Amino acid sequence: MTSKARARNLGIPLEGTPGPYNAITDVSNVEVGLATIIEGKSVRTGVTAIHPRGKTDHDPVFGGTFSFNGNGEMTGAAWVDEGGFVEGPICITNTHSVGMVRDAVIDWQVKNTAMLQRWSCPVVAETADGWLNDMNGFHVKAEHVWQALEGAENGPLAEGNIGGGTGMICYEFKGGTGTASQRLPKKYGGYTVGVLVQANFGRRYQLTVAGVPVGQHITEDALFTNGENPFREQGSLIVILATDAPLFPYQLKRVAKRAALGMARTSSLGGNGSGDIFLAFSTANRGVAYPGPVLSSVEASELGCVQILPNDHLDPIFAAAVLATEEAILNAMLAAETMTGRDGLTVPALPHDLLQNVMRQYNRLSM
């Protein structure tokens, strides 16, 4: 568990009610593992692994993806959208390590008898850490992927310069790995939506925190504004959303789309250079990926085979996805620490005291 400050602890007035961990692991049985690689002056990278039902339960989950801006990669996304299932662990790393991570995931599945069928199309997503990390050095190895997969746990999660987010930059501050959750009131089903992000996007002047234009006040040490086009995007965002609500794949695609609104609440403009790709999955409806006898409608109803939340009940889920994504991005930045990496580049952390001062000027600090 990390003891680093998070947005709510600093008095940022965020909406909704989080789960006990305020993390994607508030969705029961979801496990997350992290491998962080920091070596010498130029290696700043890693791997994040998410097991939807835990590393020992290989039952596929319903899933859906959405590409808000496709200047990036999420392997296996075509099959998720075609077949409707996420059939194994989800990993996130740097852009040039996607192939290595994908191959290692398949090896892990083979050795753990964890494949639904004879072949696998693992979900591996990326953002580019090439400013701080020697991305062309291919420093992520199979053992790091296995470390993340085997070390995954449920419970509180570390954030910031860790896992796949180790070398990432967000709004020209240090970015990285962040997580958050929303728990709906009982009258709306009591469902949980959890989010994990790898945040590596945005320009400083855009940054908005709980409605306050923070990036226009904290302008020191911005990285990319020396005569460059201020609208040019410099990175990407991966969002993985989990829920225990009984949703079908087409509904999960709709949930995944709402991550773009959480991103927008921090004021990103979603530029051409940003790979913003999102995936949502549901841990409800166990066992539906496995073939069984063809049933009549009467037999199916008697068995209660599959549950689905009606579309008219989705609005609270959508709201939870938006709010948890926004908070996970902020948590990634607030947990991150100043880092010096490749070619001596130093990326500053978002200073908590200055952030609180700006929020106080707008009467938007709750402490």
Q: What is the pLDDT of residue 148?
A: 98
In a domain, 278, yes or no: yes
Q: Which residues pair with 64 in a beta bridge?
A: 280
d(CA 164, CA 226): 28
Question: Cβ(198)–Cβ(179) under 8 Å?
Answer: no
Read off the pLDDT of each residue in 190-200 and give the average, rounded to a whole number.
Answer: 98
Give CA angle at 175 (341, 12), nearest 5°. 145
How does pLDDT run across 122-162, given as a tens digit for each residue? 999 999 999 999 999 999 999 999 999 999 999 999 999 99
Please report which confidence band the pLDDT of residue 227 belongs to, taking 50, 70 and 90 as the band edges: low
d(CA 92, CA 153): 16
CA atoms within 13 A on the CB side of 224: 19
In a domain, 303, yes or no: yes
Read off the pLDDT of each residue in 176-200 and give the average, rounded to a whole number.
Answer: 98
Question: Cβ(212)–Cβ(101) under 8 Å?
Answer: no
In a domain, 94, yes or no: yes
Q: What is the pLDDT of residue 56?
A: 97
d(CA 122, CA 145): 13
Q: What is the pLDDT of residue 11?
A: 97
pTM metric for this prediction: 0.96
**H-helix segments, 14-162:** 77-83, 98-111, 142-150
In a domain, 366, yes or no: no
Give CA angle at 346 (1, 142), nearest 5°. 55
Tell me how far apart the terminal alpha carbons of the chain are, to the nearest angstrom. Answer: 24
CA 273 to chain CA centroid, Å, is 19
How does pLDDT run across 295-331, given as a tens digit for each residue? 656 665 555 578 999 999 999 999 999 999 999 999 9
Please report which confidence band the pLDDT of residue 118 belongs to, taking 50, 70 and 90 as the band edges: very high
Question: What CATH number corresponds to the domain at position 39?
Answer: 3.60.70.12
In a domain, 146, yes or no: yes
Q: What is the pLDDT of residue 294?
A: 65
How does pLDDT run across 67-96, given as a tens digit for each residue? 999 999 999 999 999 999 999 999 999 999
Q: What is the number of domains present in the chain?
A: 1
The encoded tokens of residue 36 equal 């962080």
d(CA 334, CA 350): 6
Number of residues assigned to the chain: 367
**H-helix segments, the chain:** 77-83, 98-111, 142-150, 249-257, 259-265, 297-303, 315-335, 352-361
d(CA 178, CA 329): 6
Identified catalytic residue from 129, 181, 276, 282 = 276
How does pLDDT run across 6-49, given as a tens digit for each residue? 999 999 999 999 999 999 999 999 999 999 999 999 999 999 99
Q: What is the pLDDT of residue 197?
A: 99
Residue type, 277: I
Could you give the angle at which helices 142-150 and 98-111 cross, rounded to 10 degrees? Answer: 60
d(CA 188, CA 283): 18
* Catalytic residue list contains 81: no
Q: Give the residue from 202, 170, 187, 230 showing the smallest Cα distance to 350.
A: 170
In a domain, 85, yes or no: yes
Question: Cβ(127)–Cβ(98) under 8 Å?
Answer: no
* Catalytic residue list contains 97: no
In a domain, 1, yes or no: no
Beta-carbon contacts of 307 under 8 Å, excluding residues fewer than 6 positions away, are 246, 284, 285
Identified catalytic residue from 236, 267, 268, 282 = 236
* Catalytic residue list contains 301: no
- For 258-274, the DSSP string reads THHHHHHHTT----TT-
Read off the pLDDT of each residue in 163-169 and give the average, rounded to a whole number.
Answer: 98
In a domain, 130, yes or no: yes
Which domain range does residue 159 map to?
8-361
Read off the pLDDT of each residue in 197-220 and give the average, rounded to a whole number.
Answer: 96
d(CA 235, CA 275): 7
d(CA 143, CA 327): 31
